[in-house]
Structures are given as C-alpha cells and as structure tokens.
Amino acid sequence: MDKETKFMITYLLFAVICSSVSSDEWKATVVKSIDALVTSCVVVPCSFSHTGGNKPRSRLRAMWHDKGKTPDTKGNNIYHEDYTLIKDNFKGRTKMLGELGQNNCTLEITPVRDHDNGPFCFRVELVRGEGNEPTKDMFSFVEDCVELNMISKPPKPTLIQPKTATQGEPYTVTCSVIHTCPNHVPKLTWNLDITNIIVHHKDIKQGNWETQSILTFIPEEKDDNREITCTAEFNGGLKSPETFTLHVKRIENYNHIIIPAVVGIGTALLFGIPCILMANKYK
C-alpha cells in the first residue's frame, strides 16, 4: 500500500470520527407528537446537549421556531427571548419552563389555539455574555421537532370501581384523566357531597400527565341504582363527565324473625321452669 493510499484512508477515518463526535455533541430529546386540547395548555418536554459544555444561563440563548423557516428572524419564532421576533399570534402564549443552564428546553403554550399544529423545533445559541453577542456555536434541532395534534373535545375521565357495593361497607371509586398541562391540572369533581377524597398527580411521560381522584364512601340502601358522575374541568373551561350506575347489595335483616323467637323462648323459660318445679314438688 503506497503512502498516498494510506494517507487517504487515515484522512477518511479521521473525518468519520470527527463527524461522529460532532454530531453526538449536539443532541436534543423532544417528544415528537402530542395531543393538545384547544383552549387548554400543552407542555413540550425537551432536553439538549451542546458543544460548549456546562454554561450559565447568561451564555445561552434559546428559541423555538417553525420547521423549515429561518430561526432568529421576525415572524418565524413561536418563542424567542427578543419579544419582537415572536410571531404575533404566539405573543404572550409561550414561555420556557426549563432551566437552560441545566440543558432543559421545555416549552409551554397556553392557551392552545387550533392553528398551533407545528412542527416546531428548538434552537440554542452560545453567546459571549450579557450583551448576547453571537458566536459560531449554534444549532437548530430540525430532526427533533414536535408536532401538536389539535383536539377540540376534551377526553372523558376513566372510572374504575367494583361492580357491586355492599350496604354499610366502604366503597372506593377512582376517576382519572390524561392531560398535557401539569401547571394547570384538570379539576375532578363528584356529584356526591363527600369529603373523603384523595387526589394524585403523576407524570406518565411522552408529554402526558395523569390526575386521579379517589372517592371512598359508605353506601346505604337508598343509594341502589344511583348515578355517580365524575366531571373533569380542564384549563380553559372545557368540561367532560363520565357516569356509572351504583348497585348496592342489601344486607338481609332477620330481626323480624329473631326478636319474636327470642321473646317466645324467654317467655317459655320464665313461666315454664317454675311450673315444672312446682309439679315436681307435689308429686
């Protein structure tokens, strides 16, 4: 193998390695698709890495822009630190929830409008200081963008409950709903005047959160065939109810048999025993 061939092979290997390292240094993790309820809000989880290593917030500049449009240009950004560069129909509706210095680029849109489909991409730029003077280190993550699927009707809550309740015994019903708005969670309410309610919130990933309301009460005979409704009210005011019919198993009451029998036995003993004793005495 001559020197020229060796040089070319070495050069190509070096180029591949450098390309691999370079591409690995600029990364973003963004949920690709999220169902967003119109009038509510949506949070887009996002994290990133860049070539500059750990930088303070003052050395980073962030923006979210329309895919295929030139970022950092007026009319192409749905979020930008320069308010004048944000699209008019997004002004006042977007904000960064994440801490850029910790490589968190999470975005919130509220309220969601029916034209917020996207796709939207994140861009980060390294700047020299407080003056926001740009450097050559910048990257638009156009391969990792988010697309919002507009939903006009709120999702119905899910009810989990035993098929039958037993009169006088605790009965538990769980109502849950999926949403995209952790800072303005849906409010779950019941059509029962009961205070024994526990509420839970949890992140179920991929841009979705779950709110749960757990209701526990003691059903009575009068509650048989009663309709129980859980209503979810989302940020923005849209409501969605779910209902089921409660069936209560009655506890059989044998008092009408037991009490007369006990009284009869007691009476028999009260008068029978003295009679027997007297009869034995005069034998």
In a domain, 16, yes or no: no
Residue 18 pLDDT exceeds 60: no
**Could you tell me which of 41, 139, 55, 52 has the C-alpha nearest to residue 95?**
41
Considering 132, 151, 170, which residue would you say is the last residue of a domain?
Answer: 151
Residue 193 pLDDT exceeds 90: no
Could you give the CA distance from residue 156 to residue 244 in angstroms, rounded to a whole number? 13
Residue 12 pLDDT exceeds 50: no
Range 66-85 average pLDDT? 87
Identify the burial level of 47 via C-beta atoms within 10 angstroms of its C-beta, where 0-12 means exposed, 13-18 middle and 19 or more buried: middle
Query: Between residues 18 and 60, which one has the greater pLDDT?
Result: 60
Considering 151, 173, 202, which residue would you say is the last residue of a domain?
Answer: 151
133 and 178 fall within a common domain: no
Q: What is the pTM of this model?
A: 0.74
Count of positions (residues) in the chain: 283
127 and 197 fall within a common domain: no
Helix (H, G, I), strand (E, B) or coil at 135: strand
In a domain, 94, yes or no: yes
52 and 125 fall within a common domain: yes
In a domain, 283, yes or no: no
57 and 129 fall within a common domain: yes
131 and 167 fall within a common domain: no
64 and 103 fall within a common domain: yes
89 and 193 fall within a common domain: no
Ranges 71-80, 141-150, 206-215: which has the least confidence: 71-80
pLDDT of residue 106: 95
Tokens of 60: 């980073």
Question: Averaging pLDDT over each range in 49-63, 64-78, 107-121, which range is the top one?
Answer: 107-121
In a domain, 38, yes or no: yes
101 and 163 fall within a common domain: no
Considering 97, 131, 151, which residue would you say is the last residue of a domain?
Answer: 151
108 and 168 fall within a common domain: no
Residue 233 pLDDT exceeds 70: yes
Q: How many structural domains is the chain composed of?
A: 2
Which residue range forms the structural domain that includes residue 231?
Answer: 158-249
Range 253-266 average pLDDT? 53
Beta-bridge mates of residue 160: 174
CATH number at residue 172: 2.60.40.10
**In the predicted model, what is the mean pLDDT of the chain?**
82
136 and 170 fall within a common domain: no
How far are the Cα atoms of 7, 95, 111, 148, 179 from residue 43, in angstroms, in the given order?
51, 10, 11, 11, 10
pLDDT of residue 228: 94
In a domain, 8, yes or no: no
